[in-house]
Structure 1
Amino acid sequence: MTRLAITGHRGLSAEVEAEVDRMIRAVVGEAPGPVVGMSCLADGADAVFAQAVLDVGGALVAVLPATTYREALPENYLPVYDRLLARADEVVRLPFEAPDPHAYMEASKRMIDESDVLLAVWDGLPGRGPGGTADAVAHARSRGVPVTVLWPEGAVR
């Protein structure tokens, strides 16, 4: 069994998201044994990863950073979020009320600490704020969890 966690940027252009989807599917498809994917199910990299895990017959673990997390997601993304959440094999609800940087970082830590590999859809730049992709990568590296960075060459966000 391979336990994979995801962290990554949101608000990707359709072109970048399509390439990220291809990259994620390649990694998930090559993972040895049954795959367990851990995701916060946010729009962007999280959702692409969650769908890829489900498409290979893997188990999806949704880690929700806060009780009001759904309300913080883009309105047009909610049907996708609801569909992915309904297909999750396990749902972990963290005890934070508001989805703030601390809650996001705690969700990332939970996923990373229970995973074999962190997939990071990351442009390699410093974070735009605390608790984001760069911080998740730093946490994984500090814990000795391997990080696979996926970012299309020449892409910008």
Structure 2
Amino acid sequence: MTIIAVTGHMDLTEDSLPLVRSALDDLLGRYTRDGRLVGVSCLARGADLLFAEAVLAAGGRLTVVVPSRDYRLSQVGPAEAPLFDRLLEAAAEILVLPREKAGRQAYEAANTVLIERADRLVAVWNGEPPAGRGGGTADTVLEARAAGLPVDVVWPEGAARSG
């Protein structure tokens, strides 16, 4: 069994979504040969949702780490809510962290859980350094590498952030 967690940018451009999804499909295909892939995601918009869809499409099992009790209500926008709910329902395991409010500390705690549970980390990341806020994609990549976790960076040609 291979357990792969995801971190990635939330603000992918609309044109980037199919590029990233295709790259994720290709990458995950390497790990589904034994039929025992588990993907771990927080289901944040952008990369996390694309990864979770790709895991299920590849026949893998999905584990969802919800950073806080209010995460769905406070952080999932109306555009992402139907997909979030569908993926949450499809999850084989759901871990809701014991934090009341979403925010930097909740995201950092969720990222630590991702890293502790995973054999590998997939980072949908443009390679830019941390923004200094903590809990972001670059921070998670650095934390994973410091823990000795292999990191696969996915940033296909033509991918861009909207922010």
Name the TM tier (shorter chain): over 0.9
Between the two proteins, the alignment pairs up a number of residues equal to 157
1:1-157 equivalent positions in 2, closer than 5 A: 1-31=1-31, 32-33=33-34, 34-71=36-73, 72-128=75-131, 129-157=133-161
Amino acid at match of 1:61: T
Helix, strand or coil: the match of 2:79? helix
**Greater mean alpha carbon deviation, residues 82-91 or residues 124-133:** 124-133
TM-score, scaled to structure 1: 0.96
- Give 1:154 deviation, angstroms: 4.6
Deviations 1:25-76 (A, max 9, x none): 1111111521000000111110111011111111100000000101212221
Q: Do 2:20 and 2:159's aligned partners in 1 also have CA atoms closer than 8 Å?
A: no
1-side partners of 2:70 and 2:107: how far apart? 12
Amino acid at match of 1:110: V
List gaps (5 residues or longer) in structure 1.
Answer: none
RMSD: 1.1
Give the structure, 1 or 2, with the largest relative contact order (CA under 8 Å, sep 6 or more): 2
Q: Do 2:16 and 2:158's aligned partners in 1 also have CA atoms closer than 8 Å?
A: no
- Give 1:13 deviation, angstroms: 1.1
Identity %: 44
1-side partners of 2:40 and 2:29: how far apart? 15
Helix, strand or coil: the match of 1:74? coil
TM-score, scaled to structure 2: 0.92
